[in-house]
Amino acid sequence: MAALSEEQRMIKDQASAWVREQAPVSTFRAMRDQDVAQGFFSETWQAMIEMGWTGLVVPETYGGAGLGYQTLGLVLEQLGRNLVASPLYASSVVGAAALMHSGSEDQKQALLPKIADGGRLVVLALEEGPRHNPSQIMCRAELTSSGVTLSGTKQFVMEGSAATDFVVAAKVDHGAGETGVGLFLVACDTPGVRRHAVKTMDSRGYASVTFNDVALDLEAMLAGPDTGQAVLEAVLDVATAALAAEMLGTAAAAFDMTLDYLKTRKQFGQVIGGFQALGHRAAGLYSEMELTRSCVEAALAALDNDAQDAQELVALAKCKASEFLHEMSSQLIQIHGGIGMTDEFDAGFYLKRARVLENALGNAAYHRDRYAKLLNF
Amino acid sequence: MTEQAINLDTFRAEVAGWLQENFPENLKGQGIAPFGGVEGDRVVEGDAALWRDRLASRGWGTPTWPADLGGGGLNHEEAKVLSEEMHHVGAINPIPLLAGMGVTMVGPTIMEYGTEDQKKRHIPGICSGKVRWCLGYSEPNAGSDLASLATKAEENGDHWLINGQKVWTSGADISQWCGALVRTDSGVKKRDGISFLMLKMDQPGVETRPIKLIAGASPFCETFFNDARAEKDDLLGALNDGWSVGKRLLQYERASQTGARPTSNKVSGSLQSLAKSYVGETATGELADADLRVRIADHLMHTRAHGLTIARITAEAKGNPEVSAAASILKNSATRVSQERAELTLEFMGHQGLGWEGDDFSEDEIEHVRGWLGGKAISIYGGSFEIQNNIIAKNILGLPETTQKG
């Protein structure tokens, strides 16, 4: 990144110090070992609220700091390094983006300050099948004279266990057949909403959520069928670029651990990093890391600047971050050898987190295809 | 407007006026062809010679070099203005091409390591575009392991006598001077017995033989030294310190190689539309070959990532004296961009991508075959792909060295 501003440098340093001192990987391990139902420690979340990260990208009018996605990326990257588990990404980034891109002024006023102060956890409920496919939404929202009836099931809802509210993407039915996609705000305690925790290998708080003829007021419709698709795409662009920043941090930490091991582990009377096969592998991984960083920073900057080619850059960033994290997390285990296979060592956490995030919001193949489509071939 | 901006505007006006008076109209848009092309196999004459000499008279062939040595004495902003104005009128600066390795590598190294006398004797010639330089580095038995070079230089009264063979001396057959790495001490560690000598190519002890490559004719030569002579005061840097001098010179080379260039500039248009023209498309506008489509997308994404990395390094370099560590990855990354593009193009052209000559193939197709073949050298020269990885592992990542035993 070109020179950071004074404020960005401060935020980055703060995040880096906090993650190092207050949120080491052992905290994540303790959370996993204690099988914390919500998928994160409340103390962790409280600390983030106090540091103001929950309102980082929320506009100042709604109680946030109104900072850009490049600044947010600095924090997410640090969190990714130590696998910090929290609803920051799901609610304060994706949930906030949904409200910032849709909803009436009253809805923004009501909810964004709550997201910014961590009082409400608003998360996107989108996926319905095993693979990211936002163009195949089956959830239905029937518009009636008195309101909306929502039905369907959403899977792998990130932080769905702790969420207080869902932003649900559903096909809108006017009575005269389905039209486009709309976004609907649903409080988790609305009658007809049922959720159950989904145990994923990364020990985070995912949930499956069923909406069984859930009756909502018309005001629950954040975006109708005329704007829903565009809003969803804009929200997914933010979500995808921000996720790539977190993944870059996770991969960079895995790289650092691996490099450190290459310099200390001795076999055949020498440190193993002196073997050319491993030196070249490290050089290759380093190169991919630098290329990935360029893509992630460019995508975040494109969102901040409303750049024409933002979609291309977001697809590029997620594709590269997925590819690099995939390879890096595998090499983290391979180069550590036997110890990398033990649960006592942290490498497994990185591998598990890697595969989950690679799949989230479209894997490398999905975004390669998307990139080709954006370039008309 | 700041004073600097006003000065730049004045300078721009001056350059525009000068170009109008001095740039020969019929060279407009002609590129490097009138200056002998890449091979340099044509005598520079007529308007081409006139333009070369006029440009050199202002020192504008080497705009940022010191004026008292024949350069333009311009700062970087002024040099940029000059280049923009030249581009504007369709003029090119032929001097870096005409000087062979002089402008890109030898000149900067002489200015860094040379004595005042050496600068005065050699730099003006490079600036004039009339003295072409080649480099005697590689030998048949010293490629990636350059330090094991065996060409020997012995003191012989007031001069050095050089014996041995160099290879891959680009442009040796048309150069006036050569910068050569030679062994001046065989009794020490390989790297500690090498010196950098400058010698004239036009002398009885120097013989050159062009090398034909897999792509056809090439600028490369074998160069033989049989009691070739170099003057005592043409030792660049200290005696037996040639390894540092030569390594520094290669850094200038790498700096000029990091931009990803298409191996063939003849095949124009986007890669994806060219691919469609050979492979066809589906009803929904996708490339008909799904597997190729994925690999082209992957290639274009890597190309984009490479470009973004160059931009990031440039941004990080502003106001930061230290070169970004990321810069070390650019040579290999650029190599991948070029070679991958050439291979993909060859693949989607099918039969039409396999021509050598004749009317069954378009000019573009044949040009592409030659470019694809020639591009195989990119991962070999200027520090091979493997040497680049050694450099990253050792210098950037701090891993121990095992392969380059001194």
**A237 plus A189 within the same structural domain:** no
**Is B297 close to A284, i.e. CB distance below 8 A?**
no
**Is A372 close to B318, i.e. CB distance below 8 A?**
no
Inform me whether the C-beta atom of residue A89 falls under 8 Å from chain B C-beta atoms: no
Q: By residue range, what is the domain housing residue A149? A: 123-226
Alpha helix segments (H runs only) across chain A: 6-22, 25-34, 42-50, 69-81, 96-101, 105-116, 228-264, 276-304, 310-336, 347-359, 364-374
**A103 plus A48 within the same structural domain:** yes
- Taking CA atoms, what residue in B is nearest to A293? B309
Answer whether residue A374 shows pLDDT above 50: yes
Q: What is the 3-state secondary structure (H, E, C) of chain B?
A: CCHHHHHHHHHHHHHHHHHHHHCCHHHCCCCCHHHCCCCCCCCCCHHHHHHHHHHHHHCCCCCCCCHHHCCCCCCHHHHHHHHHHHHHCCCCCCHHHHCECHHHHHHHHHHHHCCHHHHHHHHHHHHHCCCCEEEECCECCECCCHHHCCCEEEEECCEEEEEEEEECCCCHHHCCEEEEEEECCCCCCHHHHEEEEEEECCCCCEEEEECCECCECCCCEEEEEEEEEEEHHHEECCCCCHHHHHHHHHHHHHHCCCCCCCCCCCCCCCHHHHHHHHHCECCCCCECCHHHHHHHHHHHHHHHHHHHHHHHHHHHHCCCCCCCHHHHHHHHHHHHHHHHHHHHHHHHHHHHHHCCCCCCCCHHHHHHHHHHHHHHHCCCCCCCHHHHHHHHHHHHCCCCCCCCCC
CB A298 within 8 A of CB A317: yes
Q: What is the pLDDT of residue B252?
A: 82
A291-350 residues touching B, CB cutoff 8 A: 291-295, 297-298, 312, 316, 319-320
Inform me whether the C-beta atom of residue A283 falls under 8 Å from chain B C-beta atoms: yes
Q: Determine the distance in angstroms separating the CA of B265 from the nearest CA of chain A, rounded to an integer.
A: 21
**Is B306 close to A291, i.e. CB distance below 8 A?**
yes
The pLDDT confidence band at residue B1, using thresholds 50, 70 and 90, is: low
**Does residue A309 fall inside a structural domain?**
yes
Minimum-distance CB partner of B297 among A293, A295, A372: A372
The pLDDT confidence band at residue A83, using thresholds 50, 70 and 90, is: very high
Q: What is the pLDDT of residue B255?
A: 67
**A168 plus A235 within the same structural domain:** no
Reported as a single tens digit per residue, the pLDDT across B83-129 is 999 999 999 999 999 999 999 999 999 999 999 999 999 999 999 99
Active-site residue flag, B253? yes
Minimum-distance CB partner of B312 among A263, A276, A297: A297
Minimum-distance CB partner of B389 among A275, A280, A373: A280
**Is B287 close to A287, i.e. CB distance below 8 A?**
no
- Taking CA atoms, what residue in A is nearest to B391? A283
Which chain B residues are Cβ-neighbours of A282 within 8 angstroms? 392-393, 397, 399
Task: Say which of B253, B281, B316, B367 is annotated catalytic.
Answer: B253
CATH classification of the domain holding A307? 1.20.140.10
Which chain B residues are Cβ-neighbours of A276 within 8 angstroms? 390, 393, 402-403
Topology of the domain comprising B3-98: Butyryl-Coa Dehydrogenase, subunit A; domain 1 (1.10.540)
Residues 6+ apart with CB under 8 A from B76: B64
- The least confident of A341-350, B263-272, B290-299 is B263-272
What mean pLDDT do residues B177-182 have?
A: 98
Higher per-residue confidence, B31 vs B301: B301
Inform me whether the C-beta atom of residue A241 falls under 8 Å from chain B C-beta atoms: no
The pLDDT confidence band at residue B257, using thresholds 50, 70 and 90, is: low
- Taking CA atoms, what residue in B is nearest to A275? B402
Q: What is the pLDDT of residue B321?
A: 66
Average pLDDT, chain B: 91
Strand, helix or coil for residue A166:
strand
Which pairs with CB-CB distance under 8 Å and at least 24 residues apart come from B33-38? Answer: B34/B94, B35/B94, B35/B97, B35/B98, B36/B97, B36/B98, B38/B97, B38/B219
Give phi and psi for A332, each to the nearest 5: -60, -45
Minimum-distance CB partner of A286 among B276, B396, B403: B396
Minimum-distance CB partner of B276 among A291, A298, A377: A377
**Is A293 close to B312, i.e. CB distance below 8 A?**
yes
Which chain B residues are Cβ-neighbours of A369 within 8 angstroms? 294, 297
What mean pLDDT do residues B293-310 have?
A: 97
Reported as a single tens digit per residue, the pLDDT across B263-287 is 333 345 799 999 999 999 999 999 9
B133-251: CATH architecture: Beta Barrel (2.40)
Instruction: Considering chain B, tell me which residue range(s) the CATH 2.40.110.10 domain(s) occupy.
Output: 133-251
Minimum-distance CB partner of B397 among A282, A298, A372: A282
Q: Which two tokens stand for residue A363?
A: 């894997």
Instruction: Considering chain B, tell me which residue range(s) the CATH 1.20.140.10 domain(s) occupy.
Output: 257-396
CA B352, B358, B359: angle at the middle one, nearest 5?
75
**Is A286 close to B392, i.e. CB distance below 8 A?**
yes
Q: What is the pLDDT of residue B323?
A: 66
**A93 plus A160 within the same structural domain:** no
Residue at a domain's end among A195, A226, A257: A226
Q: Which two tokens stand for residue B155?
A: 């003191």
**A284 plus A366 within the same structural domain:** yes
Whole-angstrom Cα Rg for chain A: 21
Answer whether residue B405 shows pLDDT above 70: no
Residue at a domain's end among A201, A226, A251: A226
> What is the value of ipTM here, to two decimals?
0.94
Q: Determine the distance in angstroms separating the CA of B324 from the nearest CA of chain A, rounded to an integer.
A: 11
**A281 plus A318 within the same structural domain:** yes
Answer whether residue B260 shows pLDDT above 50: no
**Is B272 close to A262, i.e. CB distance below 8 A?**
no
What mean pLDDT do residues A249-258 have?
A: 98
Which chain B residues are Cβ-neighbours of A290 within 8 angstroms? 309, 326, 329
**A136 plus A21 within the same structural domain:** no
CATH classification of the domain holding A97? 1.10.540.10
The count of domains in chain A is 3
**A247 plus A356 within the same structural domain:** yes
Query: Whose CA is closest to B403, among A335, B388, A285?
Result: B388
Minimum-distance CB partner of A262 among B294, B389, B399: B399
**Is A263 close to B398, i.e. CB distance below 8 A?**
yes
**A164 plus A241 within the same structural domain:** no
CATH classification of the domain holding A164? 2.40.110.10
A1-20 residues touching B, CB cutoff 8 A: 1-3
Strand, helix or coil for residue A182:
strand
What mean pLDDT do residues A336-342 have?
A: 96
**Is A290 close to B393, i.e. CB distance below 8 A?**
no
**Is B389 close to A295, i.e. CB distance below 8 A?**
no
Q: Determine the distance in angstroms separating the CA of A51 from the nearest CA of chain B, rounded to an integer.
A: 28
Question: What is the C-alpha to C-alpha distance for residues A1 and B309, in angstroms, rounded to an integer?
Answer: 10
What mean pLDDT do residues A64-80 have?
A: 97
Residues 6+ apart with CB under 8 A from A252: A77, A80, A81, A289
**Is B392 close to A369, i.e. CB distance below 8 A?**
no
CB pairs under 8 A between A and B: 133
Residue at a domain's end among A103, A119, A135: A119
Which pairs with CB-CB distance under 8 Å and at least 24 residues apart come from B143-150? Answer: B144/B384, B144/B386, B144/B387, B145/B404, B146/B181, B146/B246, B147/B190, B147/B191, B147/B194, B147/B243, B147/B404, B147/B406, B148/B190, B149/B181, B149/B182, B149/B183, B149/B194, B150/B183
**Is B305 close to A2, i.e. CB distance below 8 A?**
no
**A15 plus A130 within the same structural domain:** no
**Does residue A1 fall inside a structural domain?**
no
Q: Determine the distance in angstroms separating the CA of A186 from the nearest CA of chain B, rounded to an integer.
A: 37
**Is A290 close to B398, i.e. CB distance below 8 A?**
no
B257-396: CATH architecture: Up-down Bundle (1.20)
**Does residue A349 fall inside a structural domain?**
yes
Interface test with B, best of A290, A326, A366 (most B CBs within 10 A): A290
Which chain B residues are Cβ-neighbours of A298 within 8 angstroms? 308, 311-312
**A265 plus A340 within the same structural domain:** yes
**Is B285 close to A284, i.e. CB distance below 8 A?**
no
Answer whether residue B254 shows pLDDT above 90: no
Reported as a single tens digit per residue, the pLDDT across A284-327 is 999 999 999 999 999 999 999 999 999 999 999 999 999 999 99
**A222 plus A233 within the same structural domain:** no
